[in-house]
Amino acid sequence: MGYSREIQDAAMRKIESRRNYALQEAEIRKSKIFQEIPQAESYERNISSCAIAAARAVFNGGNVNEELEKLKNKSLKLQEEYRVVLLEGGYTPEDLEPKYTCDKCSDTGFIEIDNKTIMCDCLKQAMVECACAELNRNSPLSLCTFEDFSLDYYSKTVEENYPRSSYDQMSNILNYCKKYADSFTKNSNSLFMKGKTGLGKTHLCLAIANEVIKKGYGVIYVSAPAIVSKLEKEHFSYGNSREKTSTEDSLIDCDLLIIDDLGTEFTTQFSTSAIYNIFNSRLLSNKPVIINTNLTLQELEKLYSQRFVSRITGQAVRLDFFGQDIRIMKK
């Protein structure tokens, strides 16, 4: 992952904060237990004394093995008595231990495998979350929910060349989006929302994003013009090459990527290639993308390519929005 140093540091601070919290909570629980069971504190001191004595025995030399064996047996006996005392008081030895968020690395961010130190999955996920938060900093994620999406603005009349009324169509789409958000996983389907402006595409994208974020997933919501601008700036800058990959990696690694207003960006060979590569990379990794656009399939083919449109329509669930511009009606 080519995340920037700022993202890496933020993720590490997040992991360290979890560890510190777990350690503090453990100390609070331990103090409470020792107040209720004074014997417990005495046993813990004696067990610690055995460990210190063992270290001294090794340092002083002499008949080390014999001394260590005695101390080991003494420590095991004390630990068993300690366990019994705790159980009689309604506790277990585990109640004294920190309750880490990640059992694999004990909230350190790293684990040992085959004598090698590697990054734990929890730290990788923290980087995704921090990268999402950074890219979403200026996004209107809190503005739209399913609850404030009204069907009142959609007509119940079936117009010519349409299979059903815009009210029925949008009612179906709303229900589908609710179910999609409710059952979202990292391997959910991609969605392709298509229709004219002012029909609720952005609203439902934001509503999905809000619900998925509540489930703890890393979501990036970004407009096509904004993301192209950021990718171009990083790509053509003369800074550290690792820093340049930060945004692209974030877009590929997040659990759900939502690209709003595809086709409204200033299209260049770079922009079309960058968006296709991100979309294709996510599909190859079975990661969902939600794309919405005001353009027709023919217009998208002109801006991008037939291959790109074919990839979208073939891999994503298509949701066709139709009706009157509700933003004008609201005025």
Tokens of 29: 């629980």
The pLDDT value given to residue 1:
44
Tens of pLDDT, residue by residue over 254-290, are 899 999 999 888 778 888 888 888 888 998 899 999 9
- Report the pLDDT averaged over residues 190-218: 90
- Decide: helix, strand or coil at residue 145: coil
Q: Decide the pairing of beta strands 116-119 and 110-113.
A: antiparallel
pLDDT at 139 over 70: no
First and final C-alpha spacing in the chain: 46
Tens of pLDDT, residue by residue over 12-46, are 999 999 999 999 999 999 999 999 998 888 888 88
Tens of pLDDT, residue by residue over 149-200, are 889 888 898 888 888 999 999 999 999 999 999 999 999 999 999 999 889 9
pTM above 0.85, yes or no: no
Tokens of 161: 């060349």
Q: Where are the alpha helices (DSSP H) in 37-60?
A: 38-60
Number of helices (H) and strands (E), helices first, in the chain? 13, 7
Tokens of 100: 């880490």
Q: What residue ranges define each of the domains in the chain, with the CATH number in brackets?
A: 5-119 (no CATH), 136-330 (3.40.50.300)
Tokens of 35: 């107040």
pLDDT at 329 over 80: no
The pLDDT value given to residue 122:
92
